[in-house]
Structure 1
Amino acid sequence: MEAPFAITEFVKRHGLGHEGSRTRVRANFFEVITLPVNDIIQYDVIITPDVPPRLNRKVFNKFSESNRGGALGGARPVYDGRKNMFAHKDMPFGNAGTFDVNLEEDGAAPVGSKRPPRLFTVKIKKVGVIRIEELLRFLNARGSCTANCLTAIMALDILIHHEPSILYNTVRKSFFTPQGARPFSGGMEVWQGYYQSARPTTGRMMINVDLSATVFYEAGPLVQMVTKILGRRSPDDLRRGFLDKDRQKVERTIKGLRIRDNHLSGRKRRFKIERLTPTSASNTQFDRGDGSNIDVATYFYQQHNRRLNHAYLPCVVVRKNVYLPMEVCDVIEGQRYMRKLNGKQTDNMIKFTCQQPQQRANKIRQGLDILNYRNNEYLRQFGMQISTEMAMVNARVLPTPLLHYHPSSTEASLRPKLGQWNLRDKKVATGATLGSWSILAFVDEEKLRDQIILGFVRELVNTCQETGMNIPNKNPPLMRANHQGTIEESLKKVWIKAGNAAKAQPQIILCILPNKGVPLYAEIKRVCDTVIGVASQCVQCDHMEKPKKQYCANVCLKMNVKLGGMNSFLNPTHIPFIADKPTIVMGADVTHPAPGKSERTSVAALCASLDAKASRYAASIRIQSGGTEIIVDLANMVKELLKTFYQTCGRKPERILFYRDGVSEGQFKQVLEKEIYAIRAACQALEETYKPNITFVVVQKRHHTRFFPIEKRYTDRTGNCLPGTVVETDITHPFEFDFYLQSHAGLQGTSRPTHYHVLFDENDFDADKLQTLSYNLCYLYARCTRAVSLVPPVYYADLVCTRARFHSPLMSDTESSEEGTGAAATFGVVKQELQRNSLLFLKSLIKHIYYRNEDAIQSASVLANSNLNEIDQDDENDINE
């Protein structure tokens, strides 16, 4: 049995923090007022034949209804759809029982060669008894988290989900209702959902309830859906022609969709779409059975007296040699759209889910009406009561750190207000010099004249100089290129042009893009990073006409760090852990292939600070087999960055603060054991006696905890909690060292705090030291003048992972769901592709994003070259870029 939620014991909480102003906030947690009094009985369930969980639930519900007064003795057991059943008492049938269940035909199954069986066997076997007393000891920090505790939490989770799973469409821990569904582009619609999860907290169990949303196919006529998929106004617009690319696009979208026919009076059969015919209904012929052929349109007229209105459309194939015209098909409600959203759909999804804090809190309360905990028969039977009041929890707002710019600035030091500031009256701490560069516009002159581009460049140059950069070359050469043409050749030409014009190695190419699409941007980054070895700065053509000072300032920030500058730094008193002794701060992340992608490789990235200001970073990257969360070659990655730190500072780090992103609670123990060992091994590989103190902190953003301010003075202009809001009690682990930190100002919607969980600590951090340090670091993200939502090394690691996927066409995730490659990429091919790009990538990405002195760049180049040689010798190693 595998528990969906796992807790293991790591660093204990040493005490609570005291820094900052105390306040109270509401959190989307609801207290379990009374836990089950009696122990819970666990049973193992096997349903044969084997079917998906959705059908398993139907079988179990039929079994439960039929046997409640007999074999179940009046009990209402709960079930997870797979193997686990829980009851509030022992069942009359004893330790085991076998039952036959006949599931009546409800028309839910599609017609086809593999119809699901109607007769099922349900075998139930008693597994054990869950002691609630043991769970209570754990919650009150009087006992460890045993297997019994984990099973008890799982049982409570299944208990709160059982009734919604019967009534609504369920996806993991969320259920969705069509009420208030919003139309989406492409024949889809967004359904509002509600997430719930049983969580152990300090002294009590809580239920975390949040909003969720997902995309479903719109129910109704299939022809209407096809019209929307192709972006037409009405089905009549399809008469102008249904091209093969249209057919392929539609087929990709609706393949596997369940439909119902509507041409037979009195009965409607259900089918699943296998594919589309390459020809229209009027041109698709089949054998009538007597040796003669007839087209589908004529057949429907003769057989069903139905003249097709859309005979120019292809037919859907529902099984071998069975064709249905699109207009006799209706899409069945409640089918989730599982494919990747395209750009427009993603924008619509963001708009739907973006809700201000008060609005979100109100909708969560509305969700409680749907959940109806008070009248839930299953909860009542187990003796479990849940509060309908959102929890009020203790919080503190940490003080804002002091940020420094160049001493010559009119405002050289400041304390940002509400987590944001601007560059007015400030000069960057270290300004880079830009002498050799060029401009490449992927926009026609008719749409964007040369004068407009040069006007924007003048404003950009002036802004850069005002903020402390040195730009002796104010008139870089301008070239144009077709964004659908040979982008690599165009970039090579403009690179040569920049070098010839300045008589110096080109430093950066300014690219003007016609749109926000990913493919062009990805190709520019691939070529510049891995072919040419030069930095690139992309800007949108929309900003050319009337260049805004703020936009130019933001571009300036990015260009300065790409060219080796440093934008700002914190007062050393705000990061004493880093400033007092040689300390390296690391951030690690692993990104996996998107669902449905053919390639099967994951990218692991590690970023590390290089100085006492924690403002310069270097990166190391590997690819590894897809879906592996453990960073396989972490030891060598850590070793590389420790070397780079030493080559930059001349000293070895005495302390390592390691922030790890992308790890779920169930993976804590495995990641900690494997990766702490790898960090230790890296240190000892450099020197046998080298043992710096290590602190290992997991950083989580993918959770459903939200905070809602109560006091107006602790509310920002978007209605969110202030930056620096930290919560370490009430909704945190019963006794381990974890906390929630909302370090950023809200832009739109409801801010999501970051969850920090300390798994290993040799640096003897207390709550104040780690919370304050983590918060202050969030002001050092180089690409904007805002405090960000998580510590920069983790942020950078995520950016590096994303960039690395652009460097191989086999790994790139730039295609929309409408443009799949259709070929599976093997690990070895991707490995070979990235190996060719590794040296230039390390030199360009690290140099232009993180490094700020030529000595460090030279060291990085040597390091990259030596590692590349090692890869040539040992093909079993992962690729170092």
Structure 2
Amino acid sequence: MEDAWIQANSSPAGQLTTKMGRLAASNTPDPSTHIFPFRPNFGHEGIKTELWANYFKLNLTVRSLFAYSLTISRPVPVEEEGKPPKKGGKSTSGKKDGDAADTPKGKKLAIIIQLALDQLPEQAVIASEFKQQVITLKKLDLPETNAINVQITDRARPDKWVVTFNGPESLQIDDLMEYLITMKDVDSSFPKFAREIDAIGVILGHMARTDPGTTAIGSGRFFAFDNARADAARDIDQSMVTILRGYFQSVRPATGRLLVNTNVTHGIFRRAGNLGAILTKKGLNRMQTISAQNIDFRYAAQLKEVNSKFLSRVRVRVHFPGKRAGEFSGSQDATSSGLATSRDNLDKNGKEIEEGASPQFTVPRFSYGGPQHVKFLLRAREPQPGEKPKRAPKGLQWGTYVTVAQYYMAKYDHEADLSLPVINTSPPGRRPNYSLAELVEILPGQTIKAKLSPIEQDAMIQFACRPPPSNAHSIVTSARQLLAYDSNNLLLNNFGIAVGKELIKVLARQLPPPEVAYMSSRGNSAQSVLPNDGGWLMKQVKVIRPGRLINNWTYLYFGQGQNPKPTVKNFVQFMKNNVGIQINPTPNPSQIPADGVCVAGNVTLEAAFASLAKCRPQLIFVVLPSKDAVTYNTIKKLGDIAYGFQTVCVQADKFMSEKGQLGYFANVGLKVNLKFGGVNHKLSRDIELIKAGKTMVVGYDVTHPTNMAPGAAANAPSLVGLVASIDRDLAQWPAYVWSMKGKVEMLDDTLVHGFKSRLQLWGRNNKGQLPENIVIFRDGVSEGQFSQVLDQELPKIREACLSLYTSSRRPRISLIVSVKRHQTRFYPTDPTKIHSRSKSPREGTVVDRGVTSVRYWDFFLQAHASLQGTARPAHYTVLLDEIFRADYGAAAANALEKMTHEMCYLYGRATKAVSICPPAYYADLVCTRARIHNDELFDDNQSVASGKSAAATKIIHESLKDTMYYI
């Protein structure tokens, strides 16, 4: 019986019983297959309205397609044909087996595939994503071996490859369209017909991928970078990046039809253009000042950051000077390693790539060099048969070391710019080839994976923030042009695919906001507040329940400007008298420094915390002079991990400014109350399922290593944040956090212990009683991973429950995936049902038809009021339901939508509805804090790439582990 309960991964299955999509639920679960919960009904509560969605309808006349998978390899020499490869031998390229030269990627891979496609018959109708597959209308007329030989000729030596077409696999588009109309399950897989849908996406993206003025990122993001069609671009001052506005597309199934989701997207790219000019604008043209007597290590640090972040593995065009100034005798494209460094010609183990050919730097302790600093071995190229040996450039000798400046003067009569660093235009892992920065051009359209600076982040946010009408207009104009949706796309015509001209319309509903409740200013009764535009003011009210008494506290401030002591005193009085927090009005003089601790001069944060350790303050306020991520991270690691002090950081300019000060005080006060176990506000009418105090709500999320240097992400861990409510108030959400193998989405066995700890915490707060219902919001998984959640994570949750519940009593579980990072957007069609400021749909908008499937139970909810930009709704999909259908029957959809919507008004840190329900929101915050605690695993890329950093999450201090320390 227990095994059956663990394996029961689906709610009662249902069957589609009518052509109109009315669903009748079956009462028998089948644990052997993943039959996701059928939609019990559509929701009907709320004010009806109509919206545009950023989808175009696809019209298909094609009946079937064929898919070939591609294998790219080196040709086998004639003398080796028919022989098994030698163990430990070398490939035909002269490189070791498995060398990067034998695994083409990116641009080179696309070129190889295109050369192969060019050899196919002209009448063949072909599309590709230029990575792994080719989609065709008919079977291809291929050689007997299914292989095509290609050769890249624009290189010093011919670069030969073999492209093998495996297959074909037959794709039945007719079956896909029949399924969308009937919604009959043909098997237990999800999503259905993924291969066919992916193939149509490949066809839609083919023309944009072949456009030389467009770059593609991943499977569905496209950016035009040529001046004629670039929708928008912005260079960031004092940065080497450019922001481009582009477009996303993805084919999506919906009830009775196939759609293409098209949206505005933004990307960070390397700034294109002359590298010398870019470095000069960045202020990095100071090489002429470097000598053995004058070493600027700050300059070296700047070069190191630019090199690792922007210049590593950048595609460039190297120009060769001509006879006249400003003219070029030729050029060559290359993948550059970046700035010339003293480690050029060394592999990752420190051995010479080519023996005796390592460069020499004339400034020994400086890792970089200008044309006057970098010397390389001048060697003659071996002549071809019948060719005369070439002479060395004028005044130079073969086999000697010369500076880059001497070489360019001797060979090209070109005077190098001595202020700029030298560039190594050979790919990583090859013998270096040095070029002058002023002769190197960064090619356009190159995305960048790096952590953005605060200035770059702010610029990105400002650039991306556009009113909904502007984005909608771009989608129906610029996007259609870039993605070639219209009749001039002969490829779509040949495949029998047409893209509708207008955005589709969908039915929506606006759910009413719930009333929220505070304690009256006198503290003797609850007082209701009705939100307006998704928010409310906290005036003449106090928190519903204050947290634990804060008796011992102090503050740290940085010794610049005025002393914040008077402001701190006013702030604490405000929290006590106006917010209702139980706190000692002044620092406890017997234990805590009355005037706080000044962090200035030789006093470090570490020393300040160490000096307070014997006093054991419950809370430390830190007054920061500015927004400084490094200082903030240090404070949180010291407080959360090392000493177990609750910490709250405030910015001096906002904290000590009279403008908006009381609102800032209130916001910080809400954080303090949550950290100490308080309840800030609640709903005037409790959520139906929650009010009996028998339902625990859970949220969990995983964050992966991102924006890291090549090689670093492989050694960095993924971090998991798990939160759960502790009672009916839905105010306190203590966290459990751990690390696991990087880039793995499905949780490991630690989930059993983590989930068990949340159940035990619930029991301690509910007189030993465990919850009868558990509603779980699993954040951030894709549709292709839904079955994995049920296969791999749900059994661990069941196992945790089995260890605590009796055999006769099991909790009912509903498991819902919440996703915020998707591309669906809605635009109002009725000007009377629109947010007056942002022009987005009003808060409380729910959509469960039109862009969803009648078969599966999902819905979009925009709970918040977007103040600027285009509102992004959250997408919720039910993977397992043992609660709502059983308790609410045909009204189950209404019950879940209403509960999720009203929970968005219970986010304790704000006086407004949030965009995604609190358990998912809090889990994301926990992951963010865990990343701060372990920032050396993510920010110290060199250490992580070498495998030196231990991939183990730091443990939260015992005194904070069951608190909302992360808020």
Residue 298 of structure 1, CA deviation: 2.9
- Whether 2:727 is the aligned partner of 1:678: answer no
Alignment of 1:694-733 (within 5 A): 694-716=813-835, 717-733=837-853
Q: Does 1:335 align with 2:446?
A: yes
In 2, the alpha carbon distance for the partners of 1:118 and 1:321 equals 19
Pair 1:260 & 2:317 matched: yes
Q: How far apart are residue 90 of structure 1 and its match?
A: 3.4
Q: Tell me if structure 1 keeps the 8 A contact 2:288–2:419.
A: no
8 Å CA contact 1:29–1:208 kept in 2: the answer is: yes
The question of whether the paired residues in 1 share the 8 Å contact of 2:334 and 2:425 is answered with no
Indicate conservation of the 8 Å contact 2:183/2:855, yes or no. no
**1:635 is the counterpart of 2:635:** no
Structure 2 unaligned residues grouped into runs of 5+: 1-32, 75-102, 323-328, 342-367, 379-396, 588-593, 886-891
| Farther off after superposition, 207-216 or 38-47 | 38-47
Q: Is the 8 A contact 1:41 1:129 kept in 2?
A: yes
Separation of aligned partners in 2, 1:238 and 1:270: 30
1:663 paired residue among 757, 781, 786: 781
Of 231, 234, 240, the residue aligned with 1:182 is 234
Residue type of the alignment partner of 2:235: P
Task: Tell me the residue number matched to 1:502.
Answer: none
1:418 is matched with: 533
Show the counterpart of 1:24: 50
- Kept in 1: contact 2:817–2:876 (CA 8 A): yes
Choose from 512, 522, 543 the match for 1:399: 512
Deviations 1:104-130 (A, max 9, x none): 53xxx6x7xxx7x54443333443322
| Residues 766-785 of structure 1: pairs in structure 2 closer than 5 A | 766-785=892-911
CA RMSD of aligned residues (A): 2.8
Q: Structure 2 vs 1, CA of residues 532 and 119 (structure 1 numbering), >3 Å: closer, same or farther?
A: closer
Given that 2:779 and 2:818 are in contact with CA atoms closer than 8 Å, whether structure 1 keeps it comes out as yes
Closer/same/farther in 2, CA of residues 246 and 802 from structure 1, 3 Å limit: closer
Alignment check: 8 A CA contact 2:655 2:664 kept: no
Which has the higher mean CA deviation after the structures are superposed, 287-296 or 762-771?
Answer: 287-296
Give the match's secondary structure for 1:160: helix
Q: Which residue of 2 aligns with 1:51?
A: 104
CA distance change for structure 1 residues 761 and 827 in 2, over 3 Å: closer, same or farther? farther
Tell me how far apart the structure 2 counterparts of residues 715 and 9 of structure 1 sit (CA, whole Å).
Answer: 38
Alignment of 1:452-471 (within 5 A): 452-455=564-567, 457-459=569-571, 461-471=573-583
2:761 to 644, 649, 670: 644
Q: AA paired with 1:276?
A: A
Deviation of 1:150 (Å): 2.0
2:492 maps to which of 379, 387, 396: 379
Spell out, residue by residue over 1:304-333, the C-alpha distance to the aligned partner (whole angstroms, 9 max, x if none): 212223356445463535322222222222
One-letter amino acid matched to 1:143: K
**Is the 2:38–2:857 contact (alpha carbons within 8 Å) kept by the matching residues of 1?**
yes
The 1:623/1:284 distance shift into structure 2, 3 A limit, reads closer
Distance 1:808 1:128 in 2: 46
CA distance in 2, matches of 1:75, 1:194: 28
Partners of 2:115 and 2:950 in 1: CA distance: 51
Residue 334 of structure 2: which of 247, 258, 271 is its match? 271
Amino acid at match of 2:172: R
Q: Equivalents in 1 of 2:568, 2:763: separation in Å?
A: 42
Alignment CA distance shift 1:780-1:223 (3 Å): same
Q: Quick one: which amino acid aligns to residue 107 of structure 2?
A: R
Distance 1:536 1:704, change over 3 A: same
Q: Does the 8 Å CA contact 1:582/1:655 hold for their aligned counterparts?
A: yes
Rounded Cα–Cα distance in structure 1 between residues aligned with 2:690 and 2:720: 25
Residue type at the aligned position of 1:643: Q
8 A Cα contact 2:274 2:441, kept in partner? yes
**Residue-by-residue CA offset, 1:819-848 (whole Å, 9 max, x unaligned):** 6453458699343x72xx3443xx315335
User: How far apart, in 1, do the equivalents of 2:135 and 2:966 lie?
Assistant: 54
1:241 Cα shift?
7.9
- Alignment correspondent of 2:360: none
Q: Deviations over 1:636-682 (max 9, x none)?
A: 11111111111111221000001100211111101112222112111
User: Does structure 2 conserve the Cα–Cα contact (< 8 Å) formed by 1:134 and 1:143?
Assistant: no
Relative to structure 1, the CA distance from residue 403 to residue 483 in structure 2 (aligned partners, 3 Å threshold; closer, same or farther) is: farther
Query: For 1:258-307, what per-residue CA distance to the aligned partner results, in whole angstroms no more than 9, with x for missing partners?
Result: 22233333311233333424333123233444454433223322332122
* CA distance 1:53–1:263, shift in 2 (3 Å): closer
1:539 match: 650
Residues in 2 aligned to 1:846 and 1:325: alpha-carbon distance in whole angstroms: 58
Instruction: Give the structure 1 partner of residue 542 of structure 2.
Output: 427
- State the aligned residue count: 809
- Call closer, same or farther: CA 1:322–1:90 in 2, change over 3 Å: closer
Q: Which moved further from structure 2: 483-492 or 177-186?
A: 483-492
TM-aligned CA deviation for residue 735 of structure 1: 1.1
1:199: Cα distance to partner?
Answer: 0.3
Q: Distance in 1 between matches of 2:495 and 2:736?
A: 52
Cα deviation, 1:4-54, whole Å, max 9, x if unaligned, reads xxx97511101111111110111101111x223322223333343352253
Q: Pick from 68, 74, 83: which aligns with 2:121? A: 68
The match for 1:590 is 702
Q: Partners of 1:482 and 1:774 in 2: how far apart?
A: 47
2-structure distance, mates of 1:826, 1:248:
20
Distance 1:118 1:579, change over 3 A: same
Query: In 2, are the aligned partners of 1:810 and 1:825 still within 8 Å (CA)?
Result: no
CA contact (8 A) 1:27 1:706 kept: yes
Cα distance between partner residues in 2 of 1:803 and 1:280: 42
Q: Alignment identity in percent?
A: 28
Q: How far apart are the structure 1 equivalents of 2:662 and 2:289?
A: 45
CA contact (8 A) 2:46 2:511 kept: yes
Query: Does the CA contact (< 8 Å) of 1:251 and 1:276 recur in 2?
Result: no
Partners of 1:572 and 1:613 within 8 A in 2: no
The amino acid that maps onto 2:276 is V
Partners of 1:669 and 1:585 lie apart in 2 by: 21
Runs of at least 5 residues in structure 1 that lack an aligned partner in the other structure: 1-6, 500-504, 852-881
Is 1:693 the counterpart of 2:812 in the alignment?
Answer: yes
Give the one of 251, 267, 270 matched to 2:307: 251
> 2:673 and 2:162 mapped to 1: Cα distance?
68
Say whether the 8 Å CA contact 1:140–1:734 is kept in structure 2.
Answer: no
Q: How many Å apart are 1:161 and its aligned residue? A: 0.9
Deviates more, 1:402-411 or 1:740-749: 402-411
Would you say the 8 A contact 2:904–2:918 is kept in 1?
yes
**Separation in structure 2 between the aligned mates of residue 704 and residue 642 of structure 1, nearest angstrom:** 35
SS of residue paired to 2:196:
helix
Which of 598, 614, 617 is the aligned partner of 2:730?
614
Partner SS for 2:706:
coil
2:450 and 2:934 mapped to 1: Cα distance? 22
The alpha-carbon distance between structure 1 residues 23 and 312, as it changes in their structure 2 partners (threshold 3 A), is closer
SS state at 1:213 partner: strand
Q: Over residues 512-571 of structure 1, what are the superposed CA-to-partner deviations in whole Å (9 max), with x where a residue is unaligned?
A: 112212111111111111222121110011114424111111111111111222100113
Is it true that 1:436 corresponds to 2:552 in the alignment?
yes
Deviation of residue 764 (structure 1)?
3.1
Q: Does residue 196 of structure 2 align to residue 170 of structure 1?
A: no
- Answer yes or no: is 1:209 the counterpart of 2:266: no
- Counterpart of 1:227, as a letter, is T
Q: Are the aligned partners of 2:565 and 2:595 in contact in 1 as well (CA < 8 Å)? A: no
SS of alignment partner, residue 689 of structure 2: helix
Amino acid at match of 2:793: E
Contact 1:373 1:385 in 2 (8 A): yes
Structure 2 Cα separation of the partners of residues 339 and 310 of structure 1? 29
d(CA) in 1 for partners of 2:632 and 2:728? 34
Measured after TM superposition, the shift of residue 610 of structure 1 is 1.0
Equivalent position amino acid for 2:900 in 1: S
TM-score normalized with structure 1 length = 0.86
Taking a change above 3 Å as real, the CA distance of residues 414 and 12 of structure 1, as seen in their structure-2 partners, is: same
Give the residue type in structure 2 aligned to 1:159: I
Aligned residue in 1 for 2:383? none
Q: Which residue does the alignment assign to 1:218?
A: 271
Q: Structure 1 residues 838 and 828 mapped into 2: Cα distance closer, same or farther (>3 Å)? A: farther
